[in-house]
A and B are shown apart, each in its own frame.
Chain A
Amino acid sequence: MQHYSGFGLLKHSFSHHENWQRVWRNPTPKKKYDVIIVGGGGHGLATAYYLAKEFGVTNVAVIEKGFLGGGNTARNTTIVRSNYLWDEAAHLYEHAMKLWEGLSQDLNYNVMFSQRGCLNLGHTLQDMRDIQRRVNANRLNGIDGEVLDAQQVKEIVPVLDCSDRARYPVMGASWQPRAGVARHDAVAWGFARGADTRGVDLIQQTEVEDLIIEDGTVVGVRTARYGDIRADRVGCVVAGNSSVLAKMGGFELPLESHPLQALVSEPIKPILDTVVMSNQVHGYASQSDKGDLVIGAGIDGYNGYGQRGSYSTIEHTIQAIVEMFPVFSRVRMNRQWGGIVDTCPDACPIISETPVKNLYFNCGWGTGGFKATPGSGHVFAASLAKGEMHPLAKPFSMFRFHNGALVDEHGAAGVAH
């Protein structure tokens, strides 16, 4: 693999950047693989990368119906944090956080992971109780976190209105300093490059039309473009299409796919250095390195695969942002967009075996999948490599919805992000 560095950039500038290698190949698939990953988003590519790098499984194909990283990876608001309430979720997201912290170097691809901290605001007494509960749990789980009062919040974010003027004045916040944002596309591309280098075939523009199942065991996938491609194990990582793929496997999932919208302002000079989120007022914002305010909205209540939601949701989000940051009133919204999020009843993902043998699903990340990308890929890769679920994945079996062992993270997942 061509090593990236500042020195390399200088060297290539002398040859007018004509000699950069391709970041990945464009291969024709083989007839059979050890593992097929359906879905070339961040999680799928991370799975392929770790399969090859950590678990020595390199006879792997990633099959993507569009372009790499084109689903929710390309549409989210890039927040990374691990301050989840329940042990099971906290350990999973913290596993991801630790991988994030060395990811640029591991991939030799700068994913611009910027640990600028995240504030989850509290506006009511119950908010503050919940924040205390979560931060205490985080601390004992080895996850950084503090409870701040309104004055401390104001010091971190001077443009936030912490006065009593607000309908729901800020009472305090949880603060995770290690949280932050990353460059979403770079994450997909970095994993793709790393996987490709290690021999993984990345097959783009190829839609899986069916799963090939023999005697209750999956043996491959059927594509329009390349016909049947066989595999010993198939992992589906297809946020926004999970139920569609599950139907090919003959089962249902405890999922609903909803539109999740986000928006950016025009680029303005840096004014907001951290991520600020509020469940009660219902909006969140950060500012990108380009200057855009990156703002998130809630999910729309209806099922939707249209990658767009309703205007009223955007309206409410902007109201929340102007309520929290009155000085943004004259800033202008540049663009809005939507993704399709597969939501689970307990706001936690499914990383699981399925009723079909050798078929595994990684889905249901709802509004918060991006932050888990490396961790999700890592535990899913371990599970696919060994044919046995990784200990961190075990609590997230789809069968928890039968026995009732849910991991209810609605509080920590809170406002869609």
Chain B
Amino acid sequence: MFHIYCPHCCEYREEEEFHASGQAHIPRPLDPDACTDKEWGEFMYFRANPRGIHHELWVHGAGCRKYFNITRNTHTYEILEVYKVGEKPSVVANEAK
């Protein structure tokens, strides 16, 4: 049961107020019509899904209804950082490979 800091409400609130919306930083291609089927499929469906550091989009659905990003360890469930949409994460995974 996560305790999540909403960067818009500036408060810790219970997980039940929030909803996870998948991997963050997957921009919609600017020119969809120029995408191949493969590129479009990858935009829609293919995900990094890492075990470890993960940047993900959440929404404070039962609160301010605003979306924001969380950097979270998907193994320990520690929340390492919370930041607004449009911002870059400061905590990133070490790419071993």
Contact = CB atoms under 8 A, between A and B. Distances in A.
Interface of A: 210, 241, 243-244, 247-248, 252-257, 300-306, 310-312, 345, 401-404
Nearest to B76: A306
25 contacts: A241-B51, A243-B48, A243-B49, A243-B51, A244-B51, A247-B97, A248-B97, A252-B46, A252-B47, A252-B49, A253-B49, A254-B45, A255-B49, A256-B23, A302-B20, A302-B72, A303-B22, A303-B54, A303-B56, A304-B74, A306-B74, A312-B1, A401-B44, A402-B40, A402-B42
The 7 closest A-B pairs by CB, nearest first: A243-B49, A254-B45, A302-B20, A402-B41, A301-B20, A252-B46, A401-B45
Contact of B75 (A256, A300, A305, A310): A305
Interface in B28-84: 37-38, 40-42, 44-51, 54, 56, 72, 74-77
A282 B44 CA distance: 27
B2 interface: yes
A415 to B, nearest CB: 18
A156 B79 CA distance: 47
Contacts of A305: 51, 74-75
Contact of B56 (A243, A247, A302): A302
Contact of B46 (A254, A300, A303, A311): A254
Interface residues of B, number: 29
B88 interface: no
A301 B19 contact: yes
A310 to B, nearest CB: 5
Given A241-B51, A248-B97, A310 B1 contact: yes
A215 B74 CA distance: 33
Contacts of A247: 48, 50, 97
Interface of B: 1-2, 15-16, 19-20, 22-23, 37-38, 40-42, 44-51, 54, 56, 72, 74-77, 97
B56 A257 contact: no
A312 B54 CA distance: 22
A310 B4 CA distance: 13
Q: Give the residue among A248, A303, A306 with the most B Cβ atoms within 10 A.
A: A303
A386 B72 CA distance: 42
B1, B44, B49, B51: most-surrounded residue (chain A CB, <10 A): B49
Contact of B49 (A248, A301, A303, A401): A303
Contact of B15 (A210, A257, A312, A403): A312
A252 B42 contact: yes
Given A248-B97, A312-B16, A401 B46 contact: yes
A300 B15 CA distance: 11
Q: Among the interface residues B19, B20, B75, B76, which one has the most CB atoms of the partner chain A within 10 A?
A: B20
Nearest to A316: B16
Contacts of A304: 74, 77
A312 B74 CA distance: 18
A243 B56 CA distance: 16
A311 B2 CA distance: 10
Nearest to B75: A305
Nearest to B51: A305
Nearest to B38: A402
A210 B23 CA distance: 24
A401 B37 CA distance: 9
A345 B20 CA distance: 15
Given A254-B45, A255-B49, A256-B22, 10 more contacts: A244-B50, A247-B97, A252-B46, A253-B46, A256-B47, A300-B20, A301-B20, A303-B74, A306-B75, A402-B38
A243 B46 CA distance: 10
A401 B46 CA distance: 8
A255 B56 CA distance: 14
Nearest to B52: A305
B49 A257 contact: yes
A404 B50 CA distance: 25
Nearest to A302: B20
A243 B77 contact: no
Contact of A403 (B37, B56, B72, B76): B37
Contacts of B50: 243-244, 247
A244 to B, nearest CB: 5
B71 to A, nearest CB: 12
A301 B18 CA distance: 10
Nearest to A241: B51
A306 B77 contact: yes
Contacts of B45: 254, 345, 401
